[in-house]
Structure 1
Amino acid sequence: MKPIKLVTPISGDPDAPTQNLVGLGALAAELAAEGISVRDLFARTGVDAAQLEDARARISHRQRLAIYRNAKRLAKRSDIALLAGARQRISDYGIYGYALISSRTFGDSLLFSLDHVTMAGPAVRQISFRIEGKTAILRSHGLDTLGDLLPFAAEFWRSSMTALFSRVLESPFPSKRMVFPFPAPPHWRNYERMFNCPIDFGADRMEWHFDAKVLDMPCPNANPITAEICQQVCDVVLTEGPGESELVRRVRAACLNSPNRFPAAVRIASELGLSLRTFHRRLAQEGLSYQTIVDGMRRSLATELLENTHMGIDMIAERIGFADATSFRKAFKKWTSRSPSDFRHPERSG
Structure 2
Amino acid sequence: MPNVNPPLQPQVDTAGPRAPRAVTPIAFVRAMCLALERQGQAPEPLLRQAQIAPSDLDRSEARINALQMEVFSGLAMRALDDEALGWFERPLPWGSYGMLARASLSSPTLGVALRRWCRHHGLLTRDITLGVDTADGTCRIVLTEYRPPGGDGRLREFCCVSVLRNIHGLACWLVDSRMPLLGASFAFAAPPHADVYPLLFDGPASFDAAETALRFDARYLDLPLKRDEAAMNQMLSRALAIQVRPYRRDRLLMQRVRQVLLAQPQQAHNAQDLAATLNTSTRTLHRQLRDEGTTLQALKDSVRRELAMALLQRSSRPVKQVAEASGFQNEKSFIRAFKGWTGKTPGEWRERS
Higher relative contact order (CA 8 A, sep 6+): 1
Range into which the TM-score falls when normalised by the shorter chain = 0.3 to 0.5
- TM norm structure 2: 0.39
- TM norm structure 1: 0.40
The structure with the largest alpha-carbon Rg is 2
Structure showing the higher helix proportion among its residues = 1
